[in-house]
């Protein structure tokens, strides 16, 4: 994984107080993430099937990027009743440490067809630049 974005936590459990006072520890699904880099930005693609925009929570705290989401099941057709179901609605959680060469204040996020795309631009001083050489 690139030095600009490092996986900070792939834990499958949250602390007991993360879900609220008195709640038991909640199990989380760690979504698979692909990380791409070019000279201008880092792009993360996270698979979050069943998640809508309203169920997605993205946070930056210092150098930590936190992705949290809850999937929902498709609604039951109006003229049918669920007799047996195996579908579980997972709670997703993934945490990354961002390097200082990234501009966390300009992150762009898109959620489409269960895939979250985060584009994190590199800070201007971290981008490669061409140096003009003048003849002396």
Each residue's pLDDT expressed in tens, for the chain with a length of 136 residues: 556 777 765 444 443 333 333 344 568 899 999 999 998 999 999 999 989 999 999 999 999 999 999 988 777 778 888 788 777 778 999 999 999 899 999 999 999 999 999 999 998 876 677 888 888 7
| Residue 79 included in any domain | no
| Total Cβ atoms within 10 A of residue 67 | 23
Expressed in angstroms, the distance from the first to the final Cα of the chain is 43
The parent domain of residue 68 ranges over 5-15+25-72+87-126
Q: Evaluate whether residue 135 is within a structural domain.
A: no
Instruction: Tell me whether residue 78 is in a domain.
Output: no
Q: What is the pTM of this model?
A: 0.72
The total domain count for the chain is 1
Three-state SS at 18: coil
Q: Is residue 20 part of a domain?
A: no
136 belongs to a structural domain: no
Rounded CA-CA distance 111/102 in Å is 21
Flag whether 113 is in a domain. yes
- Provide the CATH number for the domain around residue 33: 2.60.40.790
Residue 29 domain flag: yes
Whether residue 82 is contained in a domain is answered as no
């Amino acid at each position: 994984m690139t030095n600009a974005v490092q996986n900070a936590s792939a834990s499958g459990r949250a602390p007991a107080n993360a879900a609220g006072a008195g709640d038991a520890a909640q199990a989380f699904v760690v979504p698979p993430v692909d990380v791409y880099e070019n000279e201008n930005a880092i792009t993360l693609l996270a698979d979050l099937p069943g998640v809508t925009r309203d169920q997605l929570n993205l946070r930056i705290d210092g150098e930590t990027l936190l992705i949290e989401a809850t999937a929902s099941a498709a609604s039951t057709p109006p003229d049918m009743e669920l007799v047996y179901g195996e579908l579980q609605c997972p709670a997703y959680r993934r945490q990354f440490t961002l390097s200082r060469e990234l501009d966390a204040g300009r992150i762009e996020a898109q959620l489409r067809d269960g895939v979250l795309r985060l584009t994190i631009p590199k800070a201007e001083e971290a981008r490669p630049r061409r140096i003009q050489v003048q003849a002396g």
